[in-house]
Structure formats: structure tokens, C-alpha cells
Amino acid sequence: MSTPATTTYRLSTKGILRSEWHKLRTLRSTWITLLTATALVIAVGITMGSTYDGDDSEVDTIVFTLLGTQLSQICLAVLGILVTAGEYSTGMIRASLTAVPRRLPILWSKAAIFTAVTFAVSWTTNVVTFLTAQIWLSGTDKELSLTDDGVLGALTGSAASLTLLSLIALGLGALLRSVPGAIGAFVGSVLILPEVLGMLPFSAVETVIRHFPVQAASSLGSLTRVEDTIAPGTALVTLALWTAAIIAAASVLLKRRDV
């Protein structure tokens, strides 16, 4: 009597990454959120460019053009939270952890895929918005081209800051395992808390606030140094450290606690 052939399945980083990419791209919410984020940036950019009359000449051109990123930031943060906390709300996390018992590769693969998608979409959106707005800004004091010094760097810096802020949201989703809870934590701690602390009349507090995620992100994505912010290089490192700390904390808890 012959023995049935058995197939041995082996986990690989490539396979886990492919799985997470499949999850992300097959969710309707992914495309709705990305399209909304993109549409907001382009729409605001067109509005700013088409209505410019010289009143905001002191505002950095890239900051002026990409004003819509302040709105898309919320969309991308929500998507980051859905990537992690969304699996807990649907119960799919049980299947994921069963397939990958070591657990940590799941979180890291989610972060890697999300980083690639978010940065690519943000960078492309920034470039398209910039070029579109320049149709109306041509001939004004805000006329620029992609080949001008610092333009591509500023557009890339803006995309990098959006990506890192969204990764912080992704980490909060993994930490709290609740979509509403993570959204509340992101809005409260990342967006509102620095503004509240800024009301305190202490210079030391002002220095600390400049190193908070959103405040550090504001140093990126501009041609000129933004007033009362840290240097762009320092801001990028600071934002990366915030992101790494949140992801590390989420990794520790994912390893130690039950599903």
C-alpha cells in the first residue's frame, strides 16, 4: 500500500511579504483611503495655485503647494491603523499568527509593505500636485521647476514625513489592537497634545515640542528653514526614532501577549 505524498511548507520572508501585500491590495478600504488622500492633496494644490494673487508670497512654495498634505496625513494614518488593528477587529489576526508562529515577521512585513506603498503614493502625488499647481503659478514669484535646487528634495522630504507619521499610526494600531482607540490615540497624542503643551509658558517645553512627531515633520518638505523648527536632518532622525520606538514597543507586546 503506497503512502500518500506529503508537501512540506516553509515560511520565508518573501512569502510573508507577498501575503501582506496581497492583504493590503485586496482591501477596498486601502484604495478608497489612498485615493482620498491623493485627491485631497491635488485638489488643495490646484485651489492654492489657481487662486494665488501674491498675498502669500512669504510662504514657502512647496509648503504652499502641498498644503493638502495636512489632510491626507489623517487619511494615511487611518490606513496605517487599519493595516494592524483592522485584523484584530475582524479576527483575521488569529489566522495570521497561526500561519506565522514567530509573530514578529508579520508586523515587520506589514510595516515594510505599508512603507513602500505610502511613500510611493505620497511622492507621486506630491510631484503631480507640484507640476499641476505650477500651471497657474508660472510667471509669479512662486514659479519653480523640478530641476531647481532643493525642489525634489523638498517633495521627497514631505513624502518621507507623511510615511513616517503613518508608520507611527500603524504602530499604535498594533499596540492598542483597536481601530477607534488607535485613531483617538494618534489624534490626541500626536496632533493635539503638542498644541496643548505649547500653551505652557516655559522655554524648555518649547524645545521639547519641536521634537514631537508632527513638529519634526514640519521641518521637512520645504525649500527654506521653517521658523521655530529643528534642522531638517535632525527632524528626519527624530521622526525615524519616534517611529522605531513605537514599532519596537508593538513588537515586544505582540511577542508577549495573547492574541
Predicted pLDDT at 4: 52
Residue 7, domain member (yes or no):
no
Predicted pLDDT at 100: 87
Residue 3, domain member (yes or no):
no
How many Cβ atoms are within 10 Å of 148's Cβ, its own excluded? 12
Percent of the chain with pLDDT over 70: 96
Confidence label for 256 from pLDDT (cuts 50, 70 and 90): confident
Residue 174, domain member (yes or no):
yes
Confidence label for 259 from pLDDT (cuts 50, 70 and 90): low
Confidence label for 8 from pLDDT (cuts 50, 70 and 90): low
Phi-psi region of 225 (alpha: psi -120 to 50; beta: other; left: phi over 0): beta
CA 129-121-248 angle, to 5 degrees, is: 130
Structural domain including 165 reads 13-256
Distance CA 152, CA 132 (A): 15
Place of cell 495573547: 258
Segment 37-55 shows an average pLDDT of 93
The domain tally of the chain equals 1
Q: Where are the alpha helices (DSSP H) in the chain?
A: 13-26, 28-50, 61-65, 69-90, 92-99, 104-137, 151-176, 179-185, 193-197, 203-209, 213-217, 232-256
Residue 4, domain member (yes or no):
no
Residue 158, domain member (yes or no):
yes
Residue 6, domain member (yes or no):
no
Residue 8, domain member (yes or no):
no
Segment 3-8 shows an average pLDDT of 51
Segment 23-41 shows an average pLDDT of 95
Confidence label for 91 from pLDDT (cuts 50, 70 and 90): confident
Confidence label for 49 from pLDDT (cuts 50, 70 and 90): very high
Place of cell 521653517: 226
Residue 34 has pLDDT above 90, yes or no: yes
- At 100-115, the pLDDT tens digits run 888 899 999 999 999 9
Residue 5, domain member (yes or no):
no
Residue 1 has pLDDT above 50, yes or no: no
- At 58-80, the pLDDT tens digits run 889 999 999 999 999 999 999 99
